[in-house]
Amino acid sequence: MLFKLKLLAFKVKLKLKQANYWVFAQIVFFILGALRLLPARAAIEFCAKFARVVGPWVPRHKVAINNLKAAYPEKTQAEIDAIAVEMWDSMARLFAEYVFLDAIFDFDPHAETPGIVEVEGIPIFERLRDEKKPHIFFTAHTGNFELLPICAGAFDLNVTALFRPPNNPYIAKRVLQARRTGKGHLVPSKAGAAWSLASVLNNNDNVGMLVDQKFGRGIPSTFFGQPVKTNPLLAKLARQYDCDVYPARCIRLPGGRFKLELYDRMELPRDETGQVDVALTAQLLNDTVEEWVREYPGQWMWFHKRWG
């Protein structure tokens, strides 16, 4: 009898959780639908201004403040607060920009003056497009990182991106649909993801990964001088397929514009046998992201529990 009561309680709890997910997702979808009724610039600016006011009052703001203090012990409270508010501005813009990704990405390599999006590293994109071998691209949660796979598609580069879906299954499904591009696919980061990416590389196609997320079973390393666990997947794939690795990032510019930067091939650390050193490569990825974040601290996702 006790077992049946516990089982019933578990099922009720599960149903309530799903119901909460559904209700929250409907609220999000309603907001996104309302944003579509506005011009892109007006909708994005509204979300940014709203987030600058509301962001400091949400529970995750405390996480962001604690992370900032750990990363920048030399900064004053006023400086920490300013970065956190700028972060909420950037994250809100990212939320609204999901609705207008097609309108935002106006890059034209033949235009005399840049539009909303400018691209640095065009010769690299063109060279990689013509190479008949696999490549790995990596980036971080800076600027609007969603524009990077769209940019790759504009250069006829087929990129399959590792995708960590939101916990809410209804929102995850919608985001998955919104992030599809004409070139490449998405692989949810769950059991079997490594095999899927390995298959892509084995077929001489390209893989894209975000490398600044928490990974409980990862390699011990550091980020901003603090101990973290880093996902070894990129390093292991690079070692197994001996493929080149390319850093890429998005920077928000004044006036609602963006710069997408693709860097040349990264030299990966090697062990005494000449193979990619997984631990040192994981640290190199962290160091690269840290350099990006230090340059534009308000454009990174500080409310993520990277050190937790």
Whether residue 63 is contained in a domain is answered as: yes
H helices within the chain, ranges in order? 2-36, 40-54, 60-71, 77-97, 101-104, 122-130, 147-154, 169-178, 193-202, 233-241, 278-295
What residues make up the domain containing 127? 104-299
Task: Give dist(CA 29, CA 51) in Å, integer.
Answer: 17
Domain boundary among 69, 97, 125: 97
Domain boundary among 97, 115, 134: 97
Task: Give dist(CA 81, CA 41) in Å, integer.
Answer: 26
Give Cβ neighbours of residue 146 (< 8 Å, ≥ 6 apart).
94, 97, 98, 101, 179
Whether residue 294 is contained in a domain is answered as: yes
The pLDDT score that the predictor gives to residue 183 is 47
Q: Which amino acid is at 285?
A: L
Dig out the tokens for 194 from the structure. Answer: 């490594």
What one-character-per-residue DSSP string does 78-93 give? HHHHHHHHHHHHHHHH
245 and 267 fall within a common domain = yes
Task: Check if the beta carbon of residue 128 is closer than 8 Å to that of residue 207.
Answer: no
Task: Give dist(CA 65, CA 103) in Å, integer.
Answer: 33
The pLDDT score that the predictor gives to residue 6 is 57
Whether residue 308 is contained in a domain is answered as: no
Task: Give dist(CA 221, CA 288) in Å, integer.
Answer: 13
Helix, coil or strand: residue 252: strand
Whether residue 4 is contained in a domain is answered as: no
199 and 240 fall within a common domain = yes
Task: Give dist(CA 123, CA 103) in Å, integer.
Answer: 25
Whether residue 304 is contained in a domain is answered as: no
80 and 156 fall within a common domain = no
119 and 167 fall within a common domain = yes
The pLDDT score that the predictor gives to residue 291 is 98
Domain boundary among 49, 78, 97: 97
The domain total for the chain is 2
The pLDDT score that the predictor gives to residue 158 is 84
46 and 176 fall within a common domain = no
166 and 77 fall within a common domain = no
Helix axes 40-54 and 2-36, enclosed angle (nearest 10): 130
Task: Check if the beta carbon of residue 128 is closer than 8 Å to that of residue 135.
Answer: yes
Tens-level pLDDT at each residue, the chain (308 residues) = 665 565 565 556 677 878 887 887 788 778 888 888 889 899 999 999 999 999 999 999 999 999 999 999 999 999 999 999 999 999 999 989 988 887 888 888 777 777 899 999 999 999 999 998 999 999 999 999 988 888 888 888 888 887 776 777 777 777 666 655 544 566 666 656 777 888 888 888 899 999 998 888 889 999 999 999 999 999 999 999 989 999 999 999 999 999 999 999 999 999 999 899 999 999 999 999 999 999 999 999 999 888 86
47 and 175 fall within a common domain = no
91 and 139 fall within a common domain = no
Whether residue 123 is contained in a domain is answered as: yes
Task: Give dist(CA 197, CA 245) in Å, integer.
Answer: 14
113 and 91 fall within a common domain = no
Q: What are phi and psi of 271, to 5 degrees?
A: -90, -175
154 and 248 fall within a common domain = yes
Whether residue 278 is contained in a domain is answered as: yes
255 and 294 fall within a common domain = yes
151 and 112 fall within a common domain = yes
